[in-house]
Amino acid sequence: MESTGVRTIDHMEVEYEDLDVGQEADVSIAKDGGCMKKVLAKGSGDERPQIGNEVTVHYTGTLLDGTKFDSSVDRGDPFKFKLGVGQVIKGWDEGVASMRKGEKAILTCTPEYAYGAAGSPPTIPANSTLKFEVELFSWTNDNDLYKDGGIVLAKTLKKADGYTFAKERDEVKVTYSVAASDADVVGGGDTIVPSTEAEFVVKDAPFDGMRALLAKIKEGDSGIYKMKNVPGGRQYCAGLPGDPQSADVTVTLNKVITVEPICGGAGSKKATTEGEGYEQPNDGASVTISYTVTLDDGKHTLVDSQSEFTFETGNEAVPAGLEEAVMRMKKGEVAEVKVPAAFAYGGDGATLSKGVVPPNTNVVYNVTLSAFEKEKETYEMSTAEKLEACEKVKGAGNDAYKSGKLELAFKKYDKAMRYVEYDSQFTDDEKKASKKLKLSIHLNTAAVAIKDKKYSKARKASGEALDIESGNEKALYRRAQAATELEEYDEAEADVKKLIENDEGHKEARNLLAKIKRAKHAQAKKDAKVFGGMFSKLGGLYKEEPKIKEVDVKAAAADAPMDPVDIGNGFQMEEITDPEPDMPTLEPEVPAPEGIDTA
């Protein structure tokens, strides 16, 4: 039954007469006779649908002379609409709101509560009073927060202006009270908990219903909620004094103090003072902070204090946990940052300006982010700026490698690659420079990966270098090294043979080839022992081979350490069998035309 216009009925408590079958009453809110209801069959329960609920009904509409003009019953298709928001005529919004589940009634609606002076041609004349036989089947209650009847909004006291929700580990400030459930006046029962101001972590809420409610409301929301324990389900009243089965709970969520997980969930950042706007430092940003460091030892022992300390993010200038927290802060924000030892000063501890951090000790930072300047994002850069930034960050990766900070080197190379990864908009000269940079980054990544014993990564990076320059000597050699360590000897041998084809006197390649052949021979002996042992157990069908000593393939392949050999262009091939080999020499930095370094 369509509306003649959009209307919204104010949310108010309306008391309805409890009618028996055959009784009739005015159920209009204004009590002006606009909607009269006569009960044909009583419904069940005490609840009635609320404004905003989607109700499901069957209906048959007639004029006062009995002429039928519409029927969902005849169509065999129940009708659904949202109650009280103007989707249907006023008489339906107010009449159906008075019904209980399963109730059947006749609603007699005056023209003002139906289609008015216009009518609905051709079936409904102007100024017609209409009769509707309506049966209410069910409704979905948007106020039933968990759709189990356990927490239902009974009355809204104040709606939030913002959109801040509390999460499990957030801290909240709430004002709440609890009263015994009252069927007549919501919140009017005997006091269980008087009005209380409380501050707590959501997961540590004073009772289960509070914890569940806080997951559904926003900062600034205030309302009265009917809570009850659900048979066979969640016990929302668990934890309340006296163990009631139901209660009316009045709650105002005054403040949400956001607590974010950091350090893989082992640490946390709590904003004690909100910052400005939405911007946060990015990788490479220049930030200025003031902070104190205390031990997380229950005594809050002060060990450091710094004022207006400036550093660049992404360079491990401060402990990892502190940097992660700072990169999640906004300008002017003050935060309490709890950092586990592994992300602070580790197993070595540290001597700081005010005291000593013992080994393996968790710490707490109180940090103020005074100012920051973000590094320019890639999409904001010109192509020339991208090339310049790539060279700079690649150089930072080289410096990290030389300092033994291998993970930082990987991060820098990955970042450098992002500047030139997509170069379709570059000029021809810029594309040449970009190609050299990409090749250099892949080769250096492979060198760092070999040093870090990440051989799959080294093989991948070498392969990407070879995609750029198929015969690159260093890429072939490093891929062969990685494949050897991965015991993929055929692949390693193929790469080494390519090197020897290009340079028969390539000493490093020949040494590696000899090592590969020894390893393959050792592997063959090991395989022979395994399969020979299997065959010997097959009922004596095969002659048992003499016992072969267990073979360590890599040890058997090892030879005396070899000195690094210069193969040109300042590059030295390292011997990977040395337990503490010199670090592979990175790509030299060669100035390119127009001042662009592309090594």
Name the catalytic one among 79, 81, 113, 115: 115
Name the catalytic one among 81, 89, 289, 516: 89
Instruction: Name the maximum alpha-carbon separation found in the chain.
Output: 112
Which helix (H) or strand (E) segment holds residue 576: the answer is: none
DSSP string, 258-282: -EEEEGGGTEEEEEEE--SSS----
Catalytic residue at 132? Answer: yes
Catalytic residue at 419? Answer: no
CB 474 within 8 A of CB 444: no
The 8-class DSSP code of residue 352 comes to -
Could you tell me the CA-to-CA distances from 279 to 124, 252, 328, 332, 438 in Å, in that order? 60, 30, 9, 11, 31
Name the catalytic one among 79, 81, 113, 132: 132
Catalytic residue at 289? Answer: no
**Burial profile 335-348: b = 16 or more Cβ within 10 angstroms, e = fewer:** bbbbbbbbbbbbee
CA dist., res. 497 & res. 503, Å (int):
10
Is 150 exposed, middle or buried, given 0-12, 13-18 or 19+ CB atoms closer than 10 A?
buried
CA dist., res. 357 & res. 342, Å (int):
13
Half-sphere exposure of 491 (CA within 13 A, CB side): 17
CA dist., res. 209 & res. 213, Å (int):
6
Q: What is the tally of helices (H) and strands (E) in the chain?
A: 12, 22
Which helix (H) or strand (E) segment holds residue 553: the answer is: helix 553-557
φ/ψ of 94, rounded to 5, equals: -90, -35
- CA angle, 468 then 473 then 478, to 5°: 90
Place of tokens 């995609």: 467
Cα end-to-end distance, the chain, whole Å = 75
Dihedral of alpha carbons 77, 81, 87, 88, sign:
positive
Catalytic residue at 59? Answer: yes
124: three-class secondary structure by DSSP: strand
CB 566 within 8 A of CB 584: no
CA dist., res. 433 & res. 441, Å (int):
12
CA dist., res. 75 & res. 400, Å (int):
76
Catalytic residue at 69? Answer: yes
Name the catalytic one among 9, 51, 69, 468: 69
CB atoms within 10 A of CB 435: 16
Q: Kindly list the catalytic residues.
A: 59, 69-70, 89, 115, 132
